[in-house]
Amino acid sequence: MSPAIPINYLAVLVCGIVSMVVGSLWYGPLFGKMWMSLMGMTPEKMEASKKKGMTQSYILMFIGSLVMAYVLAHSVVFGSSYLHMTGAWAGVMAGFWSWLGFIAPVTLGSVLWENKSWNLWILNNGHYLVSLLVMGAILGAWM
Rounded-to-10 torsion of CA 37, 40, 45, 46: -40
| 7-11, 47-51, 73-77: least confident range | 47-51
The answer, yes or no, to whether residue 1 has pLDDT greater than 60, is no
Q: How confident is the model at residue 65 (pLDDT cuts 50, 70, 90)?
A: very high
pLDDT band at 46 (very low <50, low <70, confident <90, very high): confident
Q: Cα(78)–Cα(21) distance, rounded to whole angstroms?
A: 27
Round the average pLDDT of the chain to a whole number and report it.
92
* Residue 99 DSSP class: I
pLDDT of residue 41 exceeding 60: yes
Query: Could you tell me if 77 and 88 are in contact, meaning their C-beta atoms sit under 8 angstroms apart?
Result: no
Whether this prediction's pTM lies above 0.75 is answered by yes
pLDDT mean over 77-88: 78
By C-alpha distance, which of 63, 24, 37, 62 is closest to 117?
A: 37
Residue range 25-46: average pLDDT? 92
Query: How far apart are alpha carbons 79 and 91 in whole angstroms?
Result: 8
Q: Does the pLDDT at position 55 exceed 90?
A: no
The ranges assigned to domains in the chain are 9-141
